[in-house]
Structure 1
Amino acid sequence: MPKDWDLFLMPYRQAVDELKIKLRGMRKQFQQENAHTPIEFVTGRVKPVDSIIEKMQRRQVTDDLLEQDMQDIAGLRIMCQFVEDIYQVVDLIHQRADLEVVEERDYITNVKPSGYRSYHIVISYPVQMVHGEKHILAEIQIRTLSMNFWATIEHSLNYKYQGAFPEEINERLKRAAEAAFMLDQEMSAIREEIQEAQQLFSYGKGQQTSDDQVTGNQVTDNDHEDKRK
C-alpha cells in the first residue's frame, strides 16, 4: 500500500484536471460552431483513499498491481441529452490522439441486471511529470441525465443496504430504470424538434445579451452561468 497517498495520487489528480479541460473544450467547439453539442457537462474526481483501500481489500488487489487493476482511481463523467449523443462522444474519444482507449463496456446495449445503464471507457492517458511521462488509467462514464439520476439514487441506496437490497426496493429500482430509459427514448423520438427549439432559445439569449451590452444594462448571474456551460 502506498506510504504517501498524496504523492501516489498526484498524477491522477493532474489527469482528471487536464481531461476535464479537454472534454469541456470539445463542448465549447460545438457551441462556437453553433452546432448541437453531444456533451451536456463534464465532471471528474479522484477516488478517495478509504474507497481505494476498501476496494483493494474487497477485490484482493495487491499493492504491486494497484495501478493496473484499479481502473477508476481517476474518474470522469460525461452527461448527454440523448442516447445517440453517447455514441457520438464515444466516437470522438476514439478519434483523439492524446489518449488510448484500452477497454470499453456498453451497459446501454447490455443492461446490467439491476437496470443500470451507462457506457464505460477505460483510457490510458499520458501525464507529464517533472521526472518524465507517466501513463495513468482513467475511467470515463458516459450517460444521459436520466441514466445519471437513476444511478445516483441507486448508489446512495447501496451505501444503506451494502448491495443487498430488499426485494421490493430491487423491483422498484428496476422499474424506475426502465421508466428512465423510456424517457430517453421519447426524447430521442422528438430530438429534432428539441434541438431546433434549443437553437432558437440560444439565439434569443445571445441577442438579449448583445442588447444588454449595447444599452449598458447589467447581465444577470444566470446569463453568466449560461456562458460558463
Structure 2
Amino acid sequence: MSKNYMPSKGDFEKLARMKAPYQQTIDELKVKLKGIKYGCLQENGYTPIEFVVGRVKSTESMLKKAESKGVQLGAGNWIDEVEKQVKDIAGLRLVSRYIEDLREAQEILSQREDIVVEEVKDYITIPKDSGYRSIHMIVRYPTYHGAAKKEVFCEIQLRTLAMNFWATNEHELRYKYDQKLPDDMRAELRKAADSAHELDLQMDQFRREIREAHELNKQIALSNEVKLEEIFSLYVKKDYKRAQELYRHYFGEGHDFTHDPKLKMIDDLLGSRLKLMK
C-alpha cells in the first residue's frame, strides 16, 4: 500500500462493499465447478477436477497491486479504478492430477455459456523464470448482488497437484524472506520446479496407458455383451443348437467374467443351461 496514503474508515467501508459481489462470485463458481466435477464422475467414472479452492484478495494486497498498475490511491474515483485494473480480486484455484486433465478442464470452462474467457496465460508451455507453472484464465462472470446485476472479473488458476505443491511452498518462502529469496534458494527452487514438471509428464504417460487399457477393456466388454445377447436371443427362440454352437465358438472353456457382474450373470444363466443340453 502507498506510504503516502492510508484509506480512511469510510474508504475501507466502500472497499468492503465493493468486494462483496466478488465473494458471491467465488461462492457461485465453486458450486458450479464442483457440479462439473461430480457430473463428470457420474457420466464417465472419472473427473479432471481434483479439488477447487477460492478467495477474495485482501484489501492490502488489492491496493498494492492497484498501485503497481498506476492507480493513484485517494485521487478522484480511485476505488472504481482499483476495480478496473485489478482483475484477480476474485480468485479460484482448480487442481487436477494430470496436465491432460488441466487441458480438459480448461476446455470445459471455455465452452460454458455463463462465463466469458477474457485472457489466458499458459505458464505450462512457457513457465516463469522462477519455474512457476500453471494456467491462468481471466473470466468475466455475471452475478446478481441483491437486485443489481454486475459482471465481475475472476482469475481461475489451473494447476496439477505437483504444480500446486511447489507453488504453495515457493509462496511461503517468498513471504518468509520478504520477496528477496537468496540466489542459491532460487536456483534450488527452479530445479525442484523442473523435477515436478518431469514428474507431471511421466504421470501423463501413465495416465494415457491407463486410459488406453480402460478403453480396450470397455471395447472387449461391449463385444462380449453383444455376443451374449446374440446367444440369448437364439436361446429365447429355442434355437438351442445354434445357441450352443455360438457359445462354444465365442467363449470355449477359458473365458472369465468375474470382473463384470452383468456379463457373469448372463454367462452363468446361458452357460449352465446350454452345457446341460445334448
Match of 1:97 in 2: 113
Counterparts of 2:184 and 2:118 in 1: how far apart (Å)? 38
Displacement of 1:192 = 4.0
Matched, 1:65 2:81: yes
One of 106, 115, 118 as aligned partner of 2:131: 115
Match of 1:206 in 2: none
Displacement of 1:165 = 1.6
Please give the secondary structure, in 1, of the residue aligned with 2:129.
coil
Matched, 1:22 2:32: yes
One of 17, 42, 48 as aligned partner of 1:38: 48
Counterparts of 1:16 and 1:185 in 2: how far apart (Å)? 31
Q: Is the Cα contact below 8 Å between 2:54 and 2:91 reproduced in 1?
A: yes
Aligned length: 198
One of 184, 197, 201 as aligned partner of 1:185: 201
Please give the secondary structure, in 2, of the residue aligned with 1:109.
coil
Which amino acid in the other structure matches residue 65 of structure 2? K
Match of 2:66 in 1: 56
Over the matched positions of the two proteins, sequence identity in percent amounts to 43
Q: Is the Cα contact below 8 Å between 2:63 and 2:82 reproduced in 1?
A: no
Matched, 1:132 2:142: no
Identify unmatched segments of 5+ residues in structure 1: 198-229
TM-score calculated relative to the size of structure 1: 0.81
Matched, 1:10 2:32: no
Counterparts of 1:47 and 1:77 in 2: how far apart (Å)? 13
Q: Which protein has greater RCO, CA pairs closer than 8 Å, 6+ apart?
A: 1
Please give the secondary structure, in 2, of the residue aligned with 1:190.
helix
Match of 2:174 in 1: 158
Q: Is the Cα contact below 8 Å between 2:66 and 2:85 reproduced in 1?
A: no
Matched, 1:176 2:192: yes
Q: Is the Cα contact below 8 Å between 2:69 and 2:85 reproduced in 1?
A: no
Identify unmatched segments of 5+ residues in structure 2: 1-6, 73-77, 215-278
Displacement of 1:156 = 0.7
Distance 1:49 1:3, change over 3 A: closer
Q: Is the Cα contact below 8 Å between 1:68 and 1:137 reproduced in 2?
A: no
Larger radius of gyration: 2
Task: Report the RMSD for the aligned CA atoms in angstroms.
Answer: 1.9
